[in-house]
Structure 1
Amino acid sequence: MYQRVIKRGLDILLCGAAMLIIWPLFLLIAILIKLDSKGPVYFKQKRVGIHKTHFYIYKFRTMRTDTPKDVPTHLLQDPDAFITRMGKFLRKTSLDELPQILHNVLLKGDMTIIGPRPALWNQYDLIEERDKYGANDVKPGISGWAQIHGRDELEIPVKAKLDGYYAQNISFWLDVKCVLGTVSSVLKSEGVVEGGTGAMEAAASKERPKILICTNHSYMLYQFRRELIQKLMETHEVVISMPYVGHEEDFQEMGCKCIETPIDRRGINPVTDLKLIKAYAKMLKEEKPDEVITFSIKPNIYAGFLCGLKKIPYCCNVQGLGTAFQKKGLASFVTLLYKVAFFRVKKVFFENTSNAEEFRKRKIISRDKQVLLKGAGVNLKYYRYCPYTEEDPIRFLFVGRVMKEKGVDELFRASKKLKEIYHDKIEIGMVGFFEDEYKEKVEYLEQEGIIRFYGFQKEVRPFYEKAHCIVLPSYHEGMSNVLLEAASTGRALITTYIPGCKEAVDEGINGYLCKVKSAKSLYRKMHRFIELTKKEREEMGKNGRRKMQAQFDKDKVVEKTVEAILS
């Protein structure tokens, strides 16, 4: 009753009364902000609300307009350099928080006077720590128990624990203590440390080591490695070199410096590749990184080779062999390039044992420099378990680029045969881009009712949740993130018995494995899944979730990766 009714009533009563008294102060602060620096009076920022929903918090602007967006202050290399003269006063006195009284508490109701301070939407470390104590399941506040016990001086685990104490002991008298404690802290300016939140030493030193990350795809890097980058940013300045194909703004908002670097991912034009080598050479000279991390073949080879020449420590990620090692002449050439590029490499990360063994067999790299990971891992909190919903029709789902090497030809043949038998009792959905050569075929099959093509989707979780089984008859993978995400969501898998796919499946337990390039084998496994009972299908999905929890937890993968990089 106190949380649902009385607390909200007190918020309205007290904030309404406060606004009648302090509106002249609002006006004065607004005028001073405009006189002090260019930009708006208010600052709007996405934060995490009750049950980890997102909302926008309002503050008086205290920083310059060129400050990286959505970056916790403790992750800025030099926080003081971005704060305006008026901003220093507002932050020291906490007057920058006043707009929350009007906008977030009184009008919108997405905050309360007392509660845990809302985390930034991308403060994954704080959000995850709060999960342990149930602190994400109460409405955030303008001030709170953690705020009056240290504020910016607190380490994240300590702050989360204090927030958890409040969440588990909410009462009128605890709120009164918080209000009185807040008044005392504000008057004394206690706990205000620019660059705090568990990173005071880094803020004091200001000079943090620099890591340069080179990759061929900004979208993929963000999708599968943002947790790794977030972890590295706790101790390092991070610069990312990549083609801009999506999420580059998200990286910038995290606080990363981004350098747009065009890469022809599939081409072998020597002129284009020479330009890339020159771009990397210039970048290494200007950025002077303390360490370099590379992803995918061209960054691995070209940036790796240059790092070796300049004696810059570097680590490389082999995310799959692709077709390069399947053609004899090309395989010999690529082997030579890798040997040259890796001659001084610190560590090479592999996503499956077969790829690692191939590099040892070709004498590219010794075992002591290899680090075997469970792919990029899967974020178990982001890809939460979701029970099956309605049963009819049984939904199969393919997620990925519609191209030959993903086994779509075999999927089309198997789907056509299954549709002839089961008609509307099954649905075969496809999410992703298609190569130009498949445009007509995809359109034809959709018109015939054999498949449903949903196109590219920025958010794929709703499609996993509506599906019963994810199908990926790929020819080769490093470690399929699609399979890990789907299994973490609690969905059965059907995929090929190849490195990078087979690791995600225990045959008959959480899915089925079929022969590569065999439409007949794929058809049989899909047919077998259809014939299962609803309970058996659900149990397969639950088994997949258990497997991900035991073997593919992203937190453990990130921890192992960082340990190897910084060793």
Structure 2
Amino acid sequence: MSKILLFIVNDPAFFLSHRLAVAKGAQTKGYKVHVACMPGPAVAAIAAEGFEFHSLPLSRSGRNPLAELGLMFTIWKLLWRLKPDILHLVTIKPVLYGGVAARFAPVKGVVTAISGLGFVFLSRGLKALVTRKVVSTFYRLALGKRNLRSIFQNPDDRDLLLSMSGLNESKAVMIRGSGVNLSLYTAIPEPEGLPVVCLAARLLRDKGVEEFVEAAKILAARGVKARFQLIGDIDPGNPATVTRTQIDQWREDGVIELLGYRDDIATLFAAANIVTLPSYREGLPKVLVEAAACGRAVVTTDVPGCRDAIDPDITGFLVPVRDAKALANQLQVLIEDPALRSRMGMAGRELALRAFSIEKIVEQHLDVYGQLERIV
């Protein structure tokens, strides 16, 4: 009889981009893979892989307490129906709700993927402080199952969660990101012409989108010749999303190129010279891993997750968070020095080969599953 592996994740497209390789690796090891998440266009691709899909009434905003309780009850019923050997919870709400539900269900082993601590830990003010207290209590409940491993992508998130959740350090596992397909993301020489600077992310304030636009304006005012591409779309379910009004204004200003959502990042990075991500905090950003694999120099912020995705001053530069001028200064250094870009890009490719190959990441996940199976 096949072992059952159940993924619970917020969004089907996120599952495909960040956990598909792990699921396929588990499938080759004999697991029957199930995926539970909100409905969406990417569900068809999940089913095409031979995975069984389960629809969940997930809302990332979560402002209706009754709906949130209903979601947790739905997860609990699903766990009782499937009785999974391994329950793999990905992103914050599945970790919290699924972790609590698993304590009262026949689940043999639980894996929680802590890939960044979310908007609530970046926000300021009294409301955010109270919310953090509530979430901290929730983590204590969610991570309390005996047969559990929590995967972290950077040491800052690990240490913070260990301190606030009571999680035993022996249950914490470090895996650097979601990996990258090194045969798809290849390093080729930079294109000729005006240097192209890319930021690929959901259009959220805490991704540093506003600082990127401001840095582009600063460089334009200095007469620095380059193209600035913003790749991604707004996220209406996220309180940090930029607005359509802002996007319309940026388009009118004409300083940056707005490419919208794209699924051909490898092609876009191959056509670029520099990749930037001035984020406020991350788990370990996949986009910087992809930039390294493509052999592109990086400018990112000196914050948890981002600084863990590069070798500072070797594969890219770190700048202070929320500092558009510092971002502009380091981008200008790279824009004006193609030899430095090339050296950093080559070092980035070596980093990707050493630390970020998808095969290595899949192997590490399967090892975690094996650890849980060996615990009686």
User: Structure 1 length normalisation: TM-score?
Assistant: 0.61
Q: Deviation at 1:531?
A: 2.2
Q: Where do residues 147-296 of structure 1 align in structure 2 (5 Å cutoff)?
A: 207-234=1-28, 235-296=30-91
Paired letter, 2:333: R
**Whole-Å Cα distance in 1 between the matches of residues 91 and 180 of structure 2?**
19
Q: Is the 8 A contact 2:9 2:90 kept in 1?
A: yes
| Residue among 101, 110, 125 paired with 1:314 | 110
Letter of the 1:223 partner, please give it. S
The C-alpha deviation readout for 1:470-511, integer Å capped at 9, x for no partner, is 111101111100010111011111110011101122222211
Structure 2 CA distance for aligned equivalents of residues 435 and 315 of structure 1: 27
Give the equivalent residue in structure 1 for 2:125: none
1:399 to 174, 190, 200: 200
Q: Is the 8 A contact 1:335 1:364 kept in 2?
A: no
User: Contact between 2:83 and 2:106, CA under 8 Å: does it hold in 1?
Assistant: no
Letter in 2 for 1:531: E
Residue 542 of structure 1: which of 338, 343, 346 is its match?
A: 346
Residue of structure 1 in register with 2:306 after alignment = 501
Tell me which of 143, 153, 159 is aligned to 1:357: 159
Against the structure 1 CA distance between its residues 481 and 246, is the aligned structure 2 distance closer, same or farther, given a 3 Å change threshold? farther
Q: Secondary structure at the match of 2:223?
A: helix
Q: Which amino acid aligns with 1:276?
A: L
- The answer to whether the 8 A contact 1:403-1:438 is kept is no
Which has more helix, going by share of residues?
1
CA displacement at 1:363 relative to structure 2? 4.2
Corresponding residue of 1:324: 120
In 2 relative to 1, CA 295–473 (structure 1 residues): closer, same or farther, beyond 3 Å?
A: same
Q: Following TM superposition, where does structure 1 have runs of at least 4 consecutive aligned residues deviating by more than 4 angstroms? A: none
1:408-461 alpha-carbon deviations (Å, 9 max, x no partner): 1111111111112236x2000011112564322222222322000011112221
> For residues 16-165 of structure 1, what are the structure 2 equivalents within 5 Å?
none
1: CA distance between counterparts of 2:259 and 2:98? 37
With structure 2 as the length reference, what TM-score do the two structures score? 0.91
Equivalents in 1 of 2:165, 2:44: separation in Å? 40
Change (3 A) 1:386 1:266: farther
Within 1, Cα distance between the matches of 2:83 and 2:50? 18
Give 2:278's aligned amino acid: P
1-structure distance, mates of 2:201, 2:40: 16
| 1:374 alignment counterpart | 176
SS at match of 2:119: coil
Q: Distance in 2 between matches of 1:306 and 1:550?
A: 38
Q: Tell me, in whole angstroms, the C-alpha distance in 1 between the residues paired with 2:165 and 2:249.
A: 47
**1:474 maps to what in 2?**
279
- The alignment status of 1:560 with 2:356, answered yes or no, reads no
Residue 341 of structure 1 corresponds to 142
Tell me if structure 2 keeps the 8 A contact 1:215–1:299.
yes
Question: Partner residue of 2:254?
Answer: 449
Distance 1:358 1:261, change over 3 A: same
Listed one character per residue, the Cα deviations across residues 316-374 of structure 1 (whole Å, up to 9, x for unaligned) are 11110123234322221111101011111510100111000011222431110000001
* d(CA) in 1 for partners of 2:90, 2:191: 38
Matched, 1:531 2:336: yes
Distance 1:213 1:336, change over 3 A: same
* Equivalent residue for 2:321, pick from 516, 521, 539: 516
Residues 137 and 165, structure 2, Cα contact 8 Å, conserved in 1: no
Aligned to 2:296: 491
How big is the shift at 1:288?
2.4
- SS of 2:203's equivalent? coil
- Separation in 2, partners of 1:562, 1:291: 11
Q: Describe the shift of the 1:246–1:540 C-alpha distance in structure 2 as closer, same or farther (beyond 3 A).
A: farther
1:426 is matched with which residue? Answer: 226
Q: Distance in 2 between matches of 1:223 and 1:466?
A: 21
Which whole-Å deviations, capped at 9, do the CAs of 1:108-145 have from their partners, x for residues lacking one?
Answer: xxxxxxxxxxxxxxxxxxxxxxxxxxxxxxxxxxxxxx
Q: Which has the higher contact order (CA 8 A, sep 6+)?
A: 2
Structure 1 segments unaligned to the other structure (5+ residues): 1-206
Equivalent position SS for 1:365? coil
Letter in 1 for 2:306: C
Task: Tell me the secondary structure at the aligned position of residue 338 of structure 1.
Answer: helix
Say how many residue pairs are matched: 358
RMSD: 1.5
In structure 1, how many angstroms separate the alpha carbons of the residues matched to 2:106 and 2:141? 14
